[in-house]
């Protein structure tokens, strides 16, 4: 069984993700549950799983490695359109990176995924969790006291790192092809 904080994060991810419908965002299809513990009313939350559309081409970096003639500029545009949609809904992704969070569908279109660190943007957008991976983190997030303060600008910085990854077909900070 998870902690109350883990349950809260799960619920927050579901509530945010289910309202994000866009061609460049991984579709949320619903929840699936397995049998829960009848003696623990909260166990139903930990017997639930988020269900999404299958992305057969995997991550954007895997796709580019396997399909070197794929239209990189189109993929970057689609990633930016997905991020623009999030921001138009006042949602911060908080963990954008090409290694896991950007998938490619059957037709070769980019889809943003993994909304576990996503939150609503406001003047005091603060997370109780690590704000993504250091390599994709905006420099201001590395300052003491600001580590958890994500903004639209920190998402845009992470997008610039993704652009670098995708253009080079490398995981940002790695020297070898994925």
CA–CA dist 135, 157 (Å, integer): 11
CA R_g for the chain: 17
Residues 110, 83 contacting (CB under 8 angstroms): no
CA–CA dist 163, 173 (Å, integer): 13
> What is the torsional sign of CA 108, 109, 110, 116?
negative
Q: Which two tokens stand for residue 178?
A: 């994925």
37 tagged catalytic: no
Catalytic residue among 37, 40, 95, 105: 95
CA–CA dist 101, 50 (Å, integer): 15
Closest CA to 100 of 151, 72, 135: 135
Q: Which one-letter DSSP state was computed for residue 25?
A: B
145 burial (CB, 10 Å; 0-12 / 13-18 / 19+) is exposed
User: Which residues have a catalytic role annotated?
Assistant: 95
């Amino acid at each position: 069984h998870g902690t109350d904080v883990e349950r809260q994060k799960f619920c927050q991810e579901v509530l945010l993700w289910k309202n994000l419908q866009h061609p460049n965002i991984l579709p949320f299809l619903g929840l699936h549950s397995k049998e829960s513990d009848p003696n623990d009313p909260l166990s139903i939350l930990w017997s639930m799983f988020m269900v999404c559309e299958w992305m057969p081409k995997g991550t954007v970096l895997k796709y580019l490695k396997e399909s070197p003639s794929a239209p990189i500029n189109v993929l970057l545009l689609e990633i930016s359109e997905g991020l623009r949609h999030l921001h138009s809904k006042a949602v911060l992704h908080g963990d954008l990176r090409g290694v896991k969070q950007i998938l490619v569908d059957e037709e070769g279109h980019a889809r943003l995924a993994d909304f576990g660190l996503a939150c609503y943007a406001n003047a005091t957008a603060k997370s109780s969790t690590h704000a993504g991976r250091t390599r994709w983190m905006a420099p201001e997030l590395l300052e003491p006291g600001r580590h958890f303060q994500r903004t639209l600008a920190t998402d845009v910085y992470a997008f610039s790192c993704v652009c670098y990854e995708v253009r080079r077909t490398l995981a940002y900070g790695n020297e070898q092809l994925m």
